[in-house]
Structure 1
Amino acid sequence: MTQRRTLMDYVWRLVLFFWAATIIFPIVWIAYQSLRTNVEFFQDIWALPTSLNWTNYEQAWTDYNIGKSMINTVYYVGVSLIIGTFLTTLNAYALTRMEFRGRSFIWGLIMLSLFLPGINALVPQYLLMKSLHLTNSLTGLVILDSFGENVFFLMLLGGFMSSLPKDLEESAYIDGASIYQTFWRIIIPLSTPGIVTVAIFKFLGLYNNFLGPFIYLSDPAKYTIGVNMYQANMKMQYTSDWVTMFAGVIIVLIPTVILYMFFQRRIMAGATMGAMKG
């Protein structure tokens, strides 16, 4: 039987439509501005381009050194994603599937860390990175973001793993499997949906990360894409080449848009996965 829609259903649909429009419209506006000339842009910012000026994208790629910063970002995001996702999986398994003394106390400390603003850790982190000679280094950023566990991801994956039946592990132990074999051959395959969801969120967080690379990187040749576009934006007060800047923004958006197109269902479901599974 079809559920009858009420007036409030249509009101909420209308609210969500306008909310979506406030997000989509700026992106569309930047996209068509990136195909105009600076003269057209300053004459009328709302007019459509008279001709498609694709050279803005070529100029943005070369002038803003986007290619080099993309390579830096691929290294930083790729290595951090692999190491960080593995460590999150390992930590979630240890805290949800293994019985040991002090586990509740460790979970309590993890929950307590949720009440501490992350900005408070910037100064001690920077001093530690500087003493280890890891500043102005992409590898140093990889180490910082890989070993710095995110409580949200740990809770998300931990909630998923805690829903798996204990009988599977007990059967494996009876058959002679070690704890490492159980982890690799049973827990990881069954937790693949949760691991993939965490990896997607980690990718988005790392790709959009600005504060860390901005603080720790001082060499322009090592800038990630976020810091590189920030520096490009700072140049606008001297050059006012906005259409090239808009083209650079669209280039930077492409990887995340493609990721969302392929994984939109998993991204939307991932935020509540731990709550439903745990």
Structure 2
Amino acid sequence: MKEKRTVADLMWNVILLLWSLSILFPLVWVFYESLKTNQQFFQDVWRLPGKLHWGNYADAWNEYRIGKSMINTIYYVGVTLAIGTFLTAINAYVLTRMKFRGRKLMWAIIMMSLFLPGINALVPQYVLMRDLHLTNSLTGLIVLDSFSESAFFLMMLGGFMQSLPKEIEESAYIDGASIFQTFFRIILPLSTAGIVTVAIFKFLGLYNNFLGPFIYLSDANKYTIGVAMYQASQIMNYKADWVTLFAGLMITMVPLVLIYILLQRRVMEGATLGALKG
């Protein structure tokens, strides 16, 4: 039996459609502007290009060092994501599945950090990185972001792990499994949905991270994609090559679009499953 749609349902559908168009339109506009010449762009920003100039993408790749910065970003994001997600999983397991003195106090301190602006830690972090000679280094940036635990991700993954039956671990201990064996062979496989969700959010945050690389990296050969595009935008103050800049923006969006297309179902499943179990 089909449900009858009310006027309110129709209005919500129209609102959501308009909202979607407001998000998609700027992306489409940037895309077709990237296929123009600069002369066509300044003549009429709304007119569609008569001839597609795909060479703008090659110019953006070479002139603005997008290729080099993309390699730097893959190294920075990939290593940080692997280490950071693993540490988040271990920390969430210890804080939610193990009982020890001071655990509640530790959780309280971690939750308190949610109310503290992250900008407050910027100066002491920079002083520490400078004294350890980790500035102007992608590896130093990886160390900083890998060990900078997020209370939000801990809370998300911790709530997911906390929902798992305690009897599973008790059975493993009876069979002689150690804490590490229980974590790697039981908890990690059962928490895959939650871990994937956290990893995707971490990836988006790392890929779009601008402030950290901008502060700690001074060598242009070590710039991540965010800093490289910022430097390219600054060049527009002296050089009106906007179509090449738009082409660079489209290149930088490709990994994010691919992640969304390939993993959107996993994000929805992980978030929903965590909410239902939590």
**TM class by shorter-chain length?**
over 0.9
Q: Read off the aligned partner of 2:59 and give its amino acid letter.
A: Q
8 Å CA contact 2:193–2:270 kept in 1: the answer is: no
1:121 matched to 2:107: no
1:178 matched to 2:198: no
Q: Read off the aligned partner of 1:206 and give its amino acid letter.
A: L
**Cα deviation, residue 269, structure 1:** 4.6
Instruction: Name the counterpart of 1:97.
Output: 97
Instruction: Name the counterpart of 1:5.
Output: 5
Instruction: Name the counterpart of 1:155.
Output: 155
8 Å CA contact 1:158–1:274 kept in 2: the answer is: no
Instruction: Name the counterpart of 1:57.
Output: 57
Q: What SS class does the counterpart of residue 100 from structure 2 fall into?
A: coil
8 Å CA contact 1:93–1:158 kept in 2: the answer is: yes
Per-residue CA deviation, residues 41-92 of structure 1 (Å, 9 max, x unaligned), is 0000000001000000000000001111011101100000000000000000
User: For 2:150 and 2:272, how far apart are their aligned partners in 1?
Assistant: 16
8 Å CA contact 2:80–2:143 kept in 1: the answer is: yes
User: For 2:180 and 2:200, how far apart are their aligned partners in 1?
Assistant: 25
8 Å CA contact 1:155–1:274 kept in 2: the answer is: no
Q: CA RMSD in A?
A: 1.1
Instruction: Name the counterpart of 2:75.
Output: 75
Instruction: Name the counterpart of 2:217.
Output: 217
Instruction: Name the counterpart of 1:229.
Output: 229
8 Å CA contact 1:40–1:49 kept in 2: the answer is: yes
5+ residue gaps, structure 2: none
User: For 1:132 and 1:178, how far apart are their aligned partners in 2?
Assistant: 36
Q: What percentage of aligned pairs have identical amino acids?
A: 68
User: For 1:125 and 1:40, how far apart are their aligned partners in 2?
Assistant: 47
8 Å CA contact 1:60–1:244 kept in 2: the answer is: yes
TM-score, with length taken from structure 2 = 0.97
- The aligned length equals 278
**Cα deviation, residue 273, structure 1:** 4.9
Per-residue CA deviation, residues 226-265 of structure 1 (Å, 9 max, x unaligned), is 0000000000111110000000000000000001001112
Q: Read off the aligned partner of 2:64 and give its amino acid letter.
A: Y
User: For 2:9 and 2:199, how far apart are their aligned partners in 1?
Assistant: 34
**Cα deviation, residue 103, structure 1:** 0.8
User: For 1:173 and 1:181, how far apart are their aligned partners in 2?
Assistant: 9
User: For 1:271 and 1:118, how far apart are their aligned partners in 2?
Assistant: 25
TM-score, with length taken from structure 1 = 0.97
Q: What SS class does the counterpart of residue 46 from structure 2 fall into?
A: coil
Q: What SS class does the counterpart of residue 238 from structure 2 fall into?
A: helix
